[in-house]
Structures are given as C-alpha cells and as structure tokens.
A and B are shown apart, each in its own frame.
Chain A
Amino acid sequence: MLRRRLPLLLCFIAGLFMAVQYYVPHHSVQSAYETLLLWLQTLLAFAFLLGTVSLIRVHYHKIRNKAADRGFSLVMFAGLFAMLGLGFFHPSHHAPGSPFNLMFLNVQVPIEATMFSLLAFYVASAAFRAFRARTLEATLLLVAAAIVMLGRVPIGEMISSTIPEATRWILEVPNLAAKRGIMIGVGLGMMATSLKIILGIERAWMGGGD
C-alpha cells in the first residue's frame, strides 16, 4: 500500500509546492524552489550513471547472446571506453589539442553534423509527398508553400513585390492564428495533465491502476 501511496503523496506535495511558488515571490519560498532545482540537477548526474549502466548491460547481453547485430555493440563499447579512458587518464582533457578534445571535435562533431545534414534530403522527399496536389487542402498547402518559399528569397522580390507581402501575410495571419489555436490547446492540456497527476487522478506514470 505504502509503495503506491508514497509516490502519490510525494508527487502531490512537490506539485502543489511548484504551483504555489509561482504566486509567492517571498525569498524563503523562492530559495526553496531554487534548492529543488539544484536537487534536480544532482539527481540528473546520478541518473546518467543509471543510463550508462543500462547501455552497457543491453550491449553486453547482445554480445553474450551472439545477437546478429552484435558488431554495433562492439563499436559502441570501443567508443565508450576510448572516450572514458581519454577523459579519465589524460590530465587536461578539455585543453585544445588534447586527445579527448581531438576525438570530440574530429569524430563526434562531424558525425553529428552529417546526421543533421541528412535532414535536407529528408525535407526534399517529405516535400515531394506533401505537395502532391491530390486534394483541395494539399493544393492550398502547395500554393502557400510556393509563395512562402519564393517570398523568402531575392528572386521572389524580383518577380513581384507582392510575393514578399503575401509571404508575410500567410505567416502572420492564417499561420499564426493556427499556431496560437494549437498553443492555447497545448497550454490547457499541460495544465489539465499536471493537475490530474498532482491530484492523483492520472496514475498511468506509475504503471496505471490503484
């Protein structure tokens, strides 16, 4: 019984405090709030240890069970321990030119940049699918997108000064109105979800049920 009630009680107290502190500017309350945020950071540091243990366990099991894709697990271990070793045993791993820094700047950063640059190709393929004018809505989307794209580059202005104006209107009137409508809904949804969790109505985060 306590196993289920204690998390609910802690959630209620912490949630209520977080809601109350928004209205109470007094330094005693704000200091407690700032302390709680520091606790969260401390918790996060320990949680990373938890994450690393999970990562190691999953990939260790893959290698031990001779899973088909265990080669990737070996690469993961090689990367993990190489960076850990360089970070722990090199005296100034943050210094420019240190092996840790070199690995970070010349391996991890370019790989991540490559992944990010793939986005351009995916945007092209998604646009091709989205702009097929099969329905009225898709046609409207196609026309709006064409105007916005033209209005954002110098050639749009060269064709007609109306195009940048139309772009601005599309972005600031129908587009912004739709965004605001969604955001009002999101705000209310957030409040309702928070309230249901604080009051213990929503318990799915505990696995659901009583």
Chain B
Amino acid sequence: MRARTPAGFVVGVLSISALFLCSAALAQEEIEAAPADSLPPLSPPTSVMISDTPNDRGFSINVTWALSSDDEAGRVTSYRIYRTSDPDTGFAFAGRVSPGDTEYRDGDAPEGELVYYRVSATDDVGAESPSETSAPTQAVPQWFNKERINVLIAVFIFVAAIVYFVVSARRGKDLFIRRLAGLDEVDNAVGRATEMGKPILYISGLSTVSDVATIAAINILGEVAKKTAEYNTRLIVPCADPIVMAVEQEVVKEAYAKVGRPDSYNEDDVFYLTRSQFAYVAGVNGIMVRQRPATILYMGMFFAESLVLAETGASVGAIQIAGTDAVTQLPFFITACDYTLIGEELYAASAYLSREPVLLGGLKGQDTLKMVIAITIILTTIVATLVAVNAIGADFMTPLLITQ
C-alpha cells in the first residue's frame, strides 16, 4: 500500500496536469482565434491627397488622408506612409504617425520626380490595410518664401527711410537727436579717470561677434578708445570671446592710430580671459578690486553675471555706464549703475558719440519706422477690437500679420 499510493498519486497528478494543460492550450487557441474570426480586417484610410510643401527648400511632400473608420474604436495602432516613383514596382516605407493623425510631411522625397503615396492603417498584430494610391505630384524647391512677404515690405520701408535720412544728412540737413544722459557722461567719465590717474574698464558682454549687441558694443568701444587715446588714459578690455578679442584689438589699435597716438596702444590691455561665464566674472571682479578703475562701461549682451559685475563695480567706487538689449538684465544695471542705455539706445550710441551726420540719419530712419509700427499697432488694435465685438465681420488683417 505504501508503494502504490505515491505512484497512483503521481499518475493522478500528471493526468490532471495534462488535462489542465490541454484545456488551457485549447482555450488559448480559442482566444487567439477569436479576434481573427470575429473582427474583420481594418478599413483603410481614404482620400489620400498629396501636395508639394509650399515655401520650402525642396525634397518635401505633404500627405493628408481621412482616418480609417476603425480609428475611433481604437483598433488602429499607427498609420504607415509609403512612397514610390513607380506604383508597379512597389512602395517604400516613408514614415509613420500615431492613430488620429491625418497628415504627414515626408522630407525625403526625390526632387523633381513624380511620386505616389499610400497610407496603411496598422493594427496591434501588424496587419495593414493600405489605402488607394494617391495621384502623383513632385517636390519642387521654392526661390521665394511668400509667407515672409510682409517682413520684406517692412524691410523695404525701413531701408527707404534710412536711405532718405542718410541722404538728407549728407546734404547738410540738421537732424534732431534727443539727449542720452549716459552717453553725454562718457566724456566726463573719461576725464574723471584721467584726473584720478586710474584706468577705464570696458566690458563688451559675454556674447559672440555674431550678436548684433556685441557689434554695437564694438562700435562704441571704437569711440571710447579715441577719447582714452586723446586723454592718454589706460583702457582695459577683458574679452570673453576670442573672435571678439581679435576684433576689439584691431578697433582699439585703429582708434589710437587715428588720434595720432599709436604708441600709447598696449596690446596686453585688450586680452582674452575665458569663455566660462562665472570664471569671467571672477577674473573681471579681480581686475576691478586690484586696479580700482575710475570708470566701468558695460556694453553688449549680458546674462546672470550682470549684477555681480555691476555691484562689484559700485563697491570700488567707479562711475558705471551700462547699455544692453537684454531685457531681463536691465533692472540690475539700472539699480547698480549710474547711467543705463536701455535697449535701442545701445545701438544709437555709436552714432550719438561720433556725431557723424550719416550715422545720425540712420537713427532718424529707425525712429520713422518705430512711428510706422506704433501707428500699425494702434490701427490693428482698433480693427481687432471691432472684429471682437462683431462690428466688422472678417479678420482680413490676419494674413498680413502672420509670419512663419
């Protein structure tokens, strides 16, 4: 009995297990077979339309379609887009998008060649239901971006205004430019440094030469260098960018040569410090504390370092004049500096300091376009308000004001 019991028990267990496994396998087959039996294939996307992408560099086709009728039920897992140059030789995969999407931009289409597209709805087991083949089209690059025509018109008006005022200035017309206290103070600041026998520190921001604010700072440096050369005052220019350093060395050297003091120029005073933001701050702060400059000029693009620099400059008792178009840094400079050039005043500084009529003409042109913009803002605000209260029916201004 003792020998039979385990054997019977094992046989029984094995039999039950086999029966259970067979039942489970049959049930699994039923589960797997059920969808195939009960669910029909996906309905394909319809109305596949293709068109050349407008205002592009070429190689791009826009594909649109109507969703598969099974999309809403959640059976579609993706749409796969296929492209061919010859529908008879088969289609190549071009891309895929999520369910619910009805458009795709193919950026790899061959240029100037007729292409056809198909869109397949795909389910969770990878079965595809392809659409009808689209009508052919070709990817063509454009030579002009029509969506930027409003910008072009504004540029033409701007250029015309500047050219008009530059020509007027050349003919001797007197142009009124409002006073900029910060720039009026540059002469005094240079004079103060001369009297005190202390240097002037010029910081042209942390940006690169491709930044217009840096170029404006370099322009101002040229004018400041002429004054320091005249007064024979030391000018220290630590640079955060090597290209800016190379340009500033030339600008200062030329300025010294122009006022007849080429020997006063010291190449070691216009030097590279570092690209690293806070290492630059540490270096410049060190110069401030050790050299105790009488005047510090901050011109160009600044970031989080602006307040650390300006507060250190204030602590050493220097007259500080700042100019930046970095809107977020302006409050710091206004707080810590004696004078601050706000935004566009930075760009006006070179013309203002040099007093060259031709450059002042450029400023007047700038003011003219600003007036045009102000009038446009007022008019479009009125139109938008009238549209909002349904006093006029169409927002006809919209195409004119949207740029991509």
Contacts and interface: CB of A to CB of B under 8 A. Distances in A.
Given A127-B335, A202-B359, 16 more contacts: A30-B57, A44-B243, A48-B275, A52-B272, A54-B245, A54-B271, A55-B274, A111-B279, A116-B304, A123-B307, A126-B307, A126-B311, A182-B325, A188-B373, A196-B162, A202-B350
Interface string B229-246: 000000000010111011
Contacts of B332: 126
Contacts of B359: 196, 201-202
Which of A47, A57, A205 has the largest number of chain B CB atoms within 10 A?
Answer: A205
A190 B253 contact: no
Interface stretch (A20-28, A95-103, A152-160, A164-172): A20-28
B343 A25 contact: no
Interface in A164-189: 179, 182-186, 188-189
Interface stretch (B31-39, B98-106, B151-159, B184-192): B151-159
Contacts, number: 212
Interface residues of B, number: 90
B251 interface: yes
B354 A204 contact: yes
11 contacts: A25-B57, A26-B143, A47-B241, A51-B241, A54-B271, A55-B273, A115-B282, A118-B308, A186-B327, A189-B212, A189-B348
Interface of A: 19, 22-28, 30, 40, 43-44, 47-52, 54-55, 57-58, 61, 68-69, 72, 108, 111-112, 115-116, 118-119, 122-123, 125-127, 129-130, 179, 182-186, 188-197, 201-202, 204-209
Contacts of A30: 57
B183 interface: no
B301 to A, nearest CB: 11
A69 B215 contact: no
A54 B216 contact: no
B271 A188 contact: no
B94 interface: no
A189 B348 CA distance: 7
A188 B251 CA distance: 25
Given A50-B242, A58-B268, A201-B358, A207 B258 contact: yes
A116 B366 CA distance: 38
A186 to B, nearest CB: 4
B119 interface: no
